[in-house]
Amino acid sequence: MNAIISASDLARDLAGARPPVLLDVRWQLTAAKAAGEPPFDGRAAYEAGHLPTAVYVDLDRELASAPGKGGRHPLPDLAHFGTAMRRAGVSAGRPVVVYDGGQGWAAARAWWLLRWTGHPDVRVLDGGLPSWEGPLDTSVPAPAEGDFVPEPGAGLLDADAAAALARSGALLDARAGERYRGEVEPIDPVAGHIPGAVSAPTTENVGADGRFLPAGELRARFEGLGVTEGARVGVYCGSGVSAAHEVLALAAAGIPAELYVGSWSEWSSDPDRPVAVGPDPQ
């Protein structure tokens, strides 16, 4: 099953006999405080207009635990996550489509969590809300309680597994190149990358319209980064959000990949872990 869905296909499915559950996960990581602007309010954006029947999901509160030793966006408590998903109407036997404001990172985090915890049918709206040409709604729906019970599965890396994968397989760093090289670090305490990781900015997986490149182009990109047939692939970023978007791009290219959720925010918090700088993996 394709992990992404176009706006036209979503409109068709919503009009069908088995419409998907829609989750609105608008979220932004911004430098609003430095700019003197208020932080982005995903719920306010949702209430101003969302896809009909969509339920708002808060990334910071429902798709992650509080920041700490596990990084800035560690895994959520699964009981809490399950409650949030059932409240949104998520059931194991009904498809789910997730969208955000267009960047795709937050939607991909929700997609990854649902897939990792056992939901069999989850897709991300390609291009997010800006790709939708139908009407928007301002009412807040009250869906029937879902029955989804999350059960953790495979595909999750911790720091030690990520370090090992950087040596034995392909560990991709989804952050901007300048953060990978250690030239800047606007968020985390140390600049640089995990030794052996390859720079693979997730922004290069989409075109100018914010939609994913065709599967063949994505596969060619990852092959050029050293992802070989049958190789084990892992991805990390700053806090496990944009890396989920890269895992989604890999899935669209037909390449399974694992996610290091703690990512650089966890790795760099331990002074005993090695740090590499510069354009080369080592």
Catalytic residues: 237
Between the CA of residue 271 and those of 172, 190, 267, 274, what are the distances in Å? 22, 9, 9, 8
Q: Which residues lie closer than 8 Å to 237 by C-beta, 6 or more apart?
A: 173, 174, 175, 202, 243, 246, 263, 264
| Phi, psi angle pair for 99, to nearest 5° | -145, 165
**Which residue has tokens 């895994």?**
75
Cα–Cα distance for residue pair 160/17, rounded to 1 Å: 46
Q: How many CB atoms lie within 10 A of CB 99?
A: 30
Sheet of 122-125: strand order equals: 4-5, 122-125, 96-99, 21-24, 55-56
